Amino acid sequence: PAAAAALPERRAGRAEATAQIRQWYARRTPAAREPAVAAVLAEGMRWLERPWPAVAEEAGLEPVLGQGDGNLANFLWDGERVRVVDFEESGRSDRAFELAEITEHVGSWVDPGTAFDAEEFLGLVPLDAGERVRLLECRRLIALVWLLMLTRDDPARPRNPRGTVRAQAARLDALLGQVC
């Protein structure tokens, strides 16, 4: 913990992600204006503007080395251990934020061949009540980042399958409806 506390904050932490969301939302693309997506984005922005529950705030959280990129391709499983690669976004973080980064990364669900059960994965990690609340808040934040990022995809050269934006909107909507 002491070594992690001395690290600079990871890229795209809560403050940076919040600023990016506001910037992208101010310059919404046509994909972000599609009615079903726009409704979820509006709800996400209302959520973003309210304070996080006190128990989910960062003060007092044990710092960890955050890898900073939840793409499952960065976590190599050899049958016994997970090896982590790609540390360009890494820095000081907390467990809940990093777990949210993994579970909400679009790569964990967009490919039909990906068999990643986020809820099963999260069930393997013991979290106290405050971390569970923080995890939900962090998942919402990262899902909102992804929704806005996906709406910026070039329709002439899409990087993700058709329907990904709507699917991400549904994911965010479900997270916004969850209670911890």
Instruction: Give φ, ψ of 50 to 5 degrees.
Output: -90, 155
What is the number of structural domains in the chain?
1
- As given in the structure block, the two tokens for residue 168 are 């991400």
Model confidence pLDDT, tens digit, residues 152-176: 999 899 999 999 999 999 999 999 9
- As given in the structure block, the two tokens for residue 158 are 């899409």
Compute CA distances 71 → 47, 83, 102, whole Å. Answer: 25, 13, 7
pLDDT at 180: 81
Evaluate if residue 60 carries a pLDDT over 80. Answer: no
Which of residues 102 and 180 earns the better pLDDT score? 102
Domain with 92 in it: what CATH number? 3.90.1200
pLDDT at 56: 83
Element (H, E) at 77: strand 75-77
CA atoms of 37 and 152, how far apart (whole Å): 13
pLDDT at 76: 94
CA atoms of 137 and 142, how far apart (whole Å): 9
- Residue carrying the six token digits 């090896």: 83
Model confidence pLDDT, tens digit, residues 72-100: 899 999 999 999 999 999 999 999 999 99
Evaluate if residue 179 carries a pLDDT over 80. Answer: yes
Q: 70, 86, 94: which is closest to 9 by C-alpha? A: 94
Q: Is 142 helix (H, G, I), strand (E, B) or coil?
A: helix
Domain that holds residue 14: 2-177
pLDDT at 59: 66
Model confidence pLDDT, tens digit, residues 90-136: 999 999 999 999 999 999 998 877 778 999 999 999 999 999 999 99
Model confidence pLDDT, tens digit, residues 3-50: 999 999 999 999 999 999 999 999 999 999 999 999 999 999 999 999
Residue 23's CB is within 10 A of a number of other CB atoms, namely: 10
